[in-house]
Structure 1
Amino acid sequence: MASAPRLLLPDVPAIVAGLGRAVLVTPDGEIETLPADAAAARLRGTAPMLVHAPATARRLGIPGFEAAHDLLELFAFCHPAESCAPTPRGLALALDLPQPTDDEAAAALLPEIATRLLRDLADARDLPRNRDAAGLAARMGEAGWAWAPSVLAALGDPAAKASANAYKVWRRLPEWEDTAPAPPAASFPVEPAEARRRLAEILGAGAEQRPQQADYASAAAGAFAPREHPGAPALVLAEAGTGTGKTLGYIAPASVWAEKNGAPVWISTFTRNLQRQIDQETARLFPDPEQRRRRVVLRKGRENYLCLLNLDDQTAGGPPPYWAVALGLVARWALATRDGDLVGGDFPGWIAELFGSAAVLPLADRRGECIHSACPHYKTCFVEHSIRRAKSAQIVIANHALVMVQAALGGGEDGPPLRLVFDEGHHLFDAADSAFSADLTGAEMAELRRWLLGAEGGRSRARGLRRRLEELIGDRPELNAQLDAALMAARALPLPGWPSRLPGGGSARPDETPNAGEVFLRAAREQVLARTQDARDAGLYDSECDLFPVTADLPDAAEGLGRALRRLEEPLVVLRDRLAARLEDEAEEIEVGDRIRIEAACRALDNRALRPLRAWGQMLATIQADPPEPGQRPAFVDWLSLERRGGADTDAGMHRHHLDPTEPFARAVAAPAHGLLITSATLRDEGESEDDDPEATWREAEARTGASHLPTPAIRAAMPSPFDYASRTRCLVVTDVARENAGQVAAAFQALFLAAGGGGLGLFTAIRRLRDVQARIAGPLEQADIPLYAQHVDAMDNATLVDVFRAEEHACLLGTDAMRDGVDVPGRALRLLVFDRVPWPRPTILHRERRLHLSGGRPKDYDDRVARHRLRQAFGRLIRRADDKGVFVLLDRSAPSRLLHGLAPGVLIRRLGLAQAVTETRNFLAEP
């Protein structure tokens, strides 16, 4: 029986750990600073209160904790679907508590954070989402969750019985309902004056006047004009310097068009970070959360969402003890989440860090196994909810990958968007390159085999095609015969563990006969090793080689695999066609659910099997064709590759990319749309030509975005940044650090980070160098009270690392490409940016061909454009508000001055030694 809630704090020490030392607060309130080994010894046999147990253990130099009262777990239970950076300061920020200024204050604050969280839970115990909270906490307690007694006391039910049913969140989730098809969209234009008025309404009275933002909104309105000719969308290319306010600038005309015409506008980004930022900005358009949920929808691929059937499978009969706590926190989140997005949405990324990715990643449908209406949770499915909401929304916030893939697959589940805004438009080339490419590799073929045959030994829940289709096929002999033939033919694809059976793999037996897929992979591997230019790299690192001229074995292997793939493709085509024919032949008998399942099955056969099989067949035919003439401009770039990790093969095969991927983008995405806005802060390369010819920079922008492949010219617009870069920034090139000397590079990072007092972002062009620098400087920085976080080192995803960096004003962060683009850290949290060297493009075969054929006869300029663009993107992270100030440092004395032109207007570039750079950084950032 429920009783009055009470606050029950655990009688354990609280700890905050740095590298090599820790601050410990005893239950009596005594604060001690101890060496790491001494702190670890004191904590043995206890379940200390802390924040982020794996990170704390790593800093103490111990394998882990037998038990711990991790405040992140308590936060996730008490405040599900709310965000916080996984540090004491991050928790304090999220709970509106005083910010700790040092480790001692942070350790002393931990009991107060626990008290606040438990009080919040007690106050909210009557909310619907807490109806099963006590039973869930008790079940988690049986699995060893340290917080269970405290949570049960706060819920007023200390004797609650464990309930496995508490994991069955689908019982309390709303069901979607089908509605009549939406009427066709109207074609009313958006006038520039309308866009300006809507922008003013969003900003509100008394907002700062930003003329560039209003001009930008006016220009963006051109993308919402009626289309005049088929295949010729209204197209606007708009460059908006940092600080222009382009997000609200395009949301204004987009929202007007959606209201006037009764159809959604799709806003597409390249990074999840920006997708989340745009979603947050729409709160200014729709302040009421419920109205915003109806009118603004985030769309991602299915692999990003919680699959309720997977959760059901994992918790059926009660989850295994080692996952019970993690799945309990997922269940709490599922009842509060806005849209079920596990990746980059409101799901705390650090849950996977606390319990391991295996506890969370399998909960999403990452392998295309959705059974649609056959799923018992179909009516509460998060993906189905988002698809239906998107059709009636005004704003759909997607990403380039989803938009491109859906276009490549013929429109996808949402249908082709009529109006598109591509933010981060400078990434369209790369996004199209990924979406419209094909890979005939061991990993891809093995994945298709698994999708068709399901689990083949070992523990796996892979269903296979027979299980997914058995109810639709029933006892129809003509369908079963085709399914049997397809599954038999699928055995020509590489078996699981195929890399170990390659020559030198160590597990091949003399009596084993490789199938057609593995024969092809062996021939591809041999050609790569034969053509590797540096003998020292052969068999040690990833390698690639041109497809032509082919070795003697490759054409025969390609022919054999081609025959095998045709034997697989033919019955799958018949199976798809005969399933589709049921929709007409049995129209009066088929129930709605079965119709949906048949349509989904046909779509899955097309997308998951037939499309790659057709692409692979074309690639194999190329191998047997006459080789191209040297220097001939190809439509596609083909090459072979071998991937190795730790001295062992992991993948091999053939790759095909369009020479110019904006051609299929223009054909499949842009031409069907009625209007497009392509925008970015770095759309043009202003340092491209010696005479800074504006026309040349626009032509380059049109080529990189696909605008040059459309029949009507684009409207061009450029808004300068309102920021005073000349007085708010410094650009320094350090001339006395040898970039090849790891010790010198690490020392430079350390000196600069110390000079800035933290707030430094270090960018690297190679993961190996990042890890080396991190290992060298983490200790000295920690001793100076500057925490150091690093991508590819810390057990945190990129979004969590950025959240921590943003919350910890004196922290520093090391990262690679993902930290260069789309990261928004305003204020003093980012005041120094250090690049380890010029980010030249990797010298791959694909880059070589594009450099040769897409450079307009100036290959070196092509390389310069890539590097200059990356430097501009990095520089753009530094100043996010008018009152920001920061220093940009490049540790590459060989950096050509031409690459630094166009970083930002008025920026003075100075070349000096490290000691001078340190002094300049310290003095500039210390100025009021």
Structure 2
Amino acid sequence: MCAAFPSPHEAPAFVAGHGFFSCLTADGELLTLNRTRARQFIQEEAAPLVVHAPATARMLGIPPPGQPAPWFDLLELFAFVHPARPVAPTPRGLAIALGLGDLDGRRVEASALPDLAARLLTDLRALKNTPAHPFLAALATRLAQAGWIWSGAVLEALEITGPLSREAMQPGEALRIWDQLPKWEDTPRRPPPGSNPVTPAEARARLGQILGPDAETRVGQADFADVATHAFAPREGMGFPRVVLAEAGTGTGKTLGYIAPASIWAERNGGAVWVSTYTRHLQRQIEAETARLHPDPAVRRNHVVVRKGRENYLCLLNMEEAVNIAPTRGPGPVIALGLLARWGMATVEGDLFGGDLPGWFGDLLGHGVLAATADRRGECIHGACPHYQRCFVEHSIRRAQDADLVIANHALVMSQAAWAQSQGLPALELGDQPETAPEEAVPDEDGIPTRYVFDEGHHLADAADGAFALELSGLEAAELRRWLLGAEGSRSRARGLRRRLDDLIAGNPRLETPLDAALLAAKALPAPGWSARLWIEPPTDPSQTDKPEETAEVEDVTASLFPMAVPVQLVEPVIDNPTETLLRLLRDQVLARTVGSGPVRRNGSECDLHPMVPGLAEAADGLARSLSRIAEPLRTLVNRLEDKLREDTDSLDTATRARIEAMIRSLQRRAIGRLDGWVSMLTTFCTPPDEVGPPQFIRFIRLEAREGQRRGEQDVGLHQHWLDPTLPFAAVLAAPAHGLLITSATLRDETDTDQSAEAEQIWEAAEARVGASHLPSPALRASLASPFDYSRQTRVFIVNDVAHDDPDTLAAAYQALFLASGGGGLGLFTAIERLRAVQRRIAAPLEEEGIPLYAQHVDAMDNTTLVDVFRTETDSCLLGTDAMRDGVDVPGHALRLVAFERVPWPRPDILHRERRMHLSQGNPKLYDDRIARLRLRQAFGRLIRARNDRGVFVLLDRRTPSRLLSAFPSGVIPHRLGIAAAVEEIRTFFEGSE
């Protein structure tokens, strides 16, 4: 079996950079080649060793290899030997992950790769006498059948020399991990938590225990833990939560500062504290910090749970379907699913995105396999799923119900609050005490938390804005139609509502009748091919309705997994579809009101809803009636399903009852709630904004290219946002809670002030940004300064001779800055186009100097993986946008320069215009300045993460107004100078630290 595969033991090796190609021949000769010779080498040599084959191919300018790959990619072998272990996808990253230490020199030569391969195969041999061996043997055999290039070496290391015995696990069973994973067991619901407080002395003591006797003393950390205890004190009345606003400068150690009192409160009161953050990256960092609280991973798993939305997790039902059809699509999908199965048996959480699945997995093996196996389209059937008791999401939900700390993200927490609002939760008149407590009125699968910690609290308004907004667009409406009706004439895996419900309602007219009515009414939603029709005027002659339109490709999850099988669907023209009629009128209004000759500007086009073009109001009214005709029978169906649960209590088995309950929840969340929101928006469609006072909502129309659509097709939609999104956040989430700690390094606009009146205004503005001003009880305010000596550790330069609109000049400036720092540079951009333009110009010159360059929106890796690579390759540089400005923690020498291409002013769109007008307290200029200063503070905060760090912050914008410079810490004096002088100052600064 092994003889059919090439051997990696004597294979040549190849390492590629933007301008550096190191080759190790099969005879052991180490060569450095130019790009042309390197392409010739990779094409002539048989099965070379590489790290990250797709990235290697991109460096060479050749198409990436498919599967089965013709190259020995060490990352694939790592994924088989050490699944669910983080590793940066570079030779240096592999060496560190395998315990071989850092590789010498800036450039890693190809001669290092055989040692990495040998270590991986040695680690694999160590697994042959473990309980995992039967699974590994079966999986390796199945991968060999699919032609995986590593199969020969893997089977040899596992000592598999022939067919497996009948008693052993068979190759076909290896991919069926849903039969092998552990089941969760239901446990009784936790009683309501107690209200016993945590004293400051107890919090300080717990913090000391967590840190240990040898920990670095951080000024302010114990004070932070002291202040945080106020959020865990008993509340004095319903709707009067204890609120703490704590601004903690970078380096304060706020994570452990709030974990200390939170863990005491959870243990003492038998409840969970929900710790929420803005990014998945910071979720992972916070979870890592809890290892100090619970060093034993098994113990930590019982006390700390990470929660994300369902779309982040591996769906076992989707994986089963993908495995079943994979053999008909060739060997590539089998290899991808085989390595995914290897990870699935080893993962702790089952988290595909931001968890322990390497972020480079999709780039190597196809992003389609991840899209196909995640619950990306809201199709979860909950208790009806045959794998329900092994489901990763259900495991995490049940663990969260008994955990002490639940580490969530703002999106999940806000979506739960938005769901509560959509279910008719009374919007609290803050300070009132309704007869029914919100937590009793709206049960949730995770339970209703009473204590929250909001880390990265400066993003609360952004998260609330996304959660409480409404969008009625072609894509959203078409997705709902697909969820209701399933596949319509295409080879899609989409299951319609009838298919999911058929065995539960068949033969029951009370249930079949409302379902039939709803599905018939769902034809009012956009039909397949709607996006192409958006740009085609409907025929006016009814006789033309029998003429088929041109074909339109229908993208599907199966097509993304198996791109060779993209279905093509013939779509009949739709003449009187009320949703498409509205969409076309919305499109016409945008095109009529926006500036420019093209239909869509670079970042999309938008216009105000009022005044409306002729016919739009009537179309909205007609669509509202059509959507109601879908929602009402669905509501009737839900009511009758609930009746069935009550009436047939003695005859329904547990599985059927669970399916019905799950379907009720899905109907309410996936369909009824969305339809009700759209109807509500459309019924007030014609009401113009209040001309007397500020409006409650901002409504506008947006036309844009949507991700996932083909050939530049466009989507158009009506958008509704709260003018102040912290209002629903405060009413629905904050007011029902018992305590909230809202913390960030950048809650306030300025760092210091000697004017008490001005200081009060700054705090009031901070409270308004996080919604605390809408609560009846005053928040406890605290400000803890960073322990770092910024005047000694940093320099800030404003470069005044770089033309910001000239990409060549801008690229030259970045190149000079990165060379001056010797790498370790983070380049931040306010526009993706400028980032890409700079990357194209400087990647090769930097590589020639031994400085690898990575870039968000260029390199096919997720942000977490890019940051891991940047952290590992200490002399590399990284280009990024907003996601790299916030929440990136790279301590030490790996990050020593931050260069921002221009002042990060807010995007001048309709949302910003309206909020600037109504929320700026009469000073729109100050409103813009505040946003820019806070963004600059966030960017500067990436620079210094430890006491021994040294770094330089550069702003390449000669137009930077002096009033923004208070964004930098007290004692840091920005200097305005030319790029040449800045480069010299940077060299001198870093030479002085050596």
Q: State whether TM-score is above 0.5.
A: yes
Q: Tell me whether 1:395 sits opposite 2:394 in the alignment.
A: no
State the AA in 2 paired with 1:458. Answer: S
Q: 2:393 aligns with which of 383, 397, 403?
A: 383
Q: Report the 3-state secondary structure (helix = DSSP H, G, I; strand = E; otherwise coil) of the residue aligned with 1:618.
A: helix
Hey, what does 1:468 align to over in structure 2? 500
Task: Answer yes or no: is the 8 Å Cα contact 1:637–1:658 preserved in 2.
Answer: yes
CA distance in 1, matches of 2:446, 2:850: 50
Task: Answer yes or no: is the 8 Å Cα contact 1:569–1:613 preserved in 2.
Answer: yes
Deviation at 1:412, TM superposition (A): 3.3
Number of equivalenced pairs: 923
State the AA in 1 paired with 2:30. Answer: I
After alignment, is 597-606 or 36-45 more displaced? 36-45
CA distance in 2, matches of 1:373, 1:661: 34
Hey, what does 2:315 align to over in structure 1? 307
Deviation at 1:9, TM superposition (A): 3.9
Hey, what does 1:196 align to over in structure 2? 204
Tell me the alpha carbon deviations over residues 60-100 of structure 1, each in whole angstroms, 9 at most, x when there is no partner: 11112351110001111000110000000100111121322
Q: Tell me whether 1:71 sits opposite 2:74 in the alignment.
A: yes
1:512–1:795 distance in 2 versus 1, CA, 3 Å: same
CA distance in 2, matches of 1:819, 1:557: 43
Task: Answer yes or no: is the 8 Å Cα contact 2:904–2:936 preserved in 1.
Answer: yes
Which runs of structure 2 are paired with 1:213-612 in the superposition (5 Å)?
213-316=221-324, 319=327, 320=329, 321-410=331-420, 412-504=444-536, 512-535=574-597, 542-612=604-674
Hey, what does 1:698 align to over in structure 2? 763
Hey, what does 2:127 align to over in structure 1? 124
Which runs of structure 2 are paired with 1:18-57 in the superposition (5 Å)?
18-44=17-43, 46-57=46-57
Deviation at 1:455, TM superposition (A): 1.1
Q: Report the 3-state secondary structure (helix = DSSP H, G, I; strand = E; otherwise coil) of the residue aligned with 1:440.
A: strand
CA distance in 1, matches of 2:602, 2:911: 21
Task: Answer yes or no: is the 8 Å Cα contact 1:439–1:653 preserved in 2.
Answer: yes
Tell me the alpha carbon deviations over residues 711-756 of structure 1, each in whole angstroms, 9 at most, x when there is no partner: 1111111110000000100110000011011111111001101111
Q: Tell me whether 1:113 sits opposite 2:122 in the alignment.
A: no
Q: 2:695 aligns with which of 620, 634, 638?
A: 634
CA distance in 2, matches of 1:335, 1:638: 47
CA distance in 1, matches of 2:135, 2:70: 25
Tell me the alpha carbon deviations over residues 122-179 of structure 1, each in whole angstroms, 9 at most, x when there is no partner: 1122333332112211221222211111111111113245712101112321111111
Q: Report the 3-state secondary structure (helix = DSSP H, G, I; strand = E; otherwise coil) of the residue aligned with 2:453.
A: strand
TM-score (norm 2): 0.90
1:207–1:628 distance in 2 versus 1, CA, 3 Å: closer
Hey, what does 2:61 align to over in structure 1? 61
CA distance in 2, matches of 1:242, 1:104: 33
1:326–1:505 distance in 2 versus 1, CA, 3 Å: farther
Task: Answer yes or no: is the 8 Å Cα contact 1:16–1:103 preserved in 2.
Answer: no
Tell me the alpha carbon deviations over residues 764-806 of structure 1, each in whole angstroms, 9 at most, x when there is no partner: 0011111111111111111111111111111111111111000
Q: 2:675 aligns with which of 613, 617, 632?
A: 613
State the AA in 1 paired with 2:689. Answer: P
Task: Answer yes or no: is the 8 Å Cα contact 1:687–1:898 preserved in 2.
Answer: no
TM-score (norm 1): 0.97
Q: 1:780 aligns with which of 845, 849, 856?
A: 845
CA distance in 2, matches of 1:905, 1:172: 58
Which runs of structure 2 are paired with 1:644-659 in the superposition (5 Å)?
644=705, 648-659=712-723
Which runs of structure 2 are paired with 1:790-869 in the superposition (5 Å)?
790-869=855-934
CA distance in 1, matches of 2:449, 2:839: 45
Tell me the alpha carbon deviations over residues 815-850 of structure 1, each in whole angstroms, 9 at most, x when there is no partner: 111111111111111101110101111111111110
1:129–1:694 distance in 2 versus 1, CA, 3 Å: farther
Hey, what does 2:87 align to over in structure 1? 84
CA distance in 2, matches of 1:15, 1:144: 22
CA distance in 2, matches of 1:659, 1:265: 30
Hey, what does 2:776 align to over in structure 1? 711
State the AA in 1 paired with 2:838. Answer: V
1:348–1:69 distance in 2 versus 1, CA, 3 Å: same
Q: Report the 3-state secondary structure (helix = DSSP H, G, I; strand = E; otherwise coil) of the residue aligned with 1:901.
A: helix
After alignment, is 26-35 or 755-764 more displaced? 26-35
1:754–1:421 distance in 2 versus 1, CA, 3 Å: same
State the AA in 1 paired with 2:47. Answer: A
Task: Answer yes or no: is the 8 Å Cα contact 1:688–1:697 preserved in 2.
Answer: no
Deviation at 1:557, TM superposition (A): 1.2
After alignment, is 591-600 or 474-483 more displaced? 591-600
Q: Report the 3-state secondary structure (helix = DSSP H, G, I; strand = E; otherwise coil) of the residue aligned with 1:868.
A: helix
Task: Answer yes or no: is the 8 Å Cα contact 1:23–1:103 preserved in 2.
Answer: no
After alignment, is 548-557 or 126-135 more displaced? 126-135
1:429–1:317 distance in 2 versus 1, CA, 3 Å: closer
Task: Answer yes or no: is the 8 Å Cα contact 2:86–2:97 preserved in 1.
Answer: yes
1:191–1:572 distance in 2 versus 1, CA, 3 Å: same
CA distance in 1, matches of 2:378, 2:105: 47
CA distance in 1, matches of 2:601, 2:21: 44
Q: Report the 3-state secondary structure (helix = DSSP H, G, I; strand = E; otherwise coil) of the residue aligned with 2:967.
A: coil
Q: 1:912 aligns with which of 977, 982, 987?
A: 977
Percent of matched pairs sharing the same residue = 58
RMSD between aligned residues: 2.0
Deviation at 1:44, TM superposition (A): 1.8
Q: Report the 3-state secondary structure (helix = DSSP H, G, I; strand = E; otherwise coil) of the residue aligned with 1:702.
A: helix
CA distance in 2, matches of 1:175, 1:83: 26
Q: Report the 3-state secondary structure (helix = DSSP H, G, I; strand = E; otherwise coil) of the residue aligned with 2:926.
A: helix
Deviation at 1:570, TM superposition (A): 1.1
Q: Tell me whether 1:664 sits opposite 2:672 in the alignment.
A: no
CA distance in 2, matches of 1:126, 1:523: 68
Q: Tell me whether 1:134 sits opposite 2:153 in the alignment.
A: no
CA distance in 2, matches of 1:197, 1:42: 63
Unaligned runs of 5+ in 1: none
1:706–1:360 distance in 2 versus 1, CA, 3 Å: same
Unaligned runs of 5+ in 2: 165-169, 421-442, 539-547, 551-571
After alignment, is 64-73 or 332-341 more displaced? 64-73
Tell me the alpha carbon deviations over residues 274-296 of structure 1, each in whole angstroms, 9 at most, x when there is no partner: 10000000000000110001111
Q: Report the 3-state secondary structure (helix = DSSP H, G, I; strand = E; otherwise coil) of the residue aligned with 1:206.
A: coil
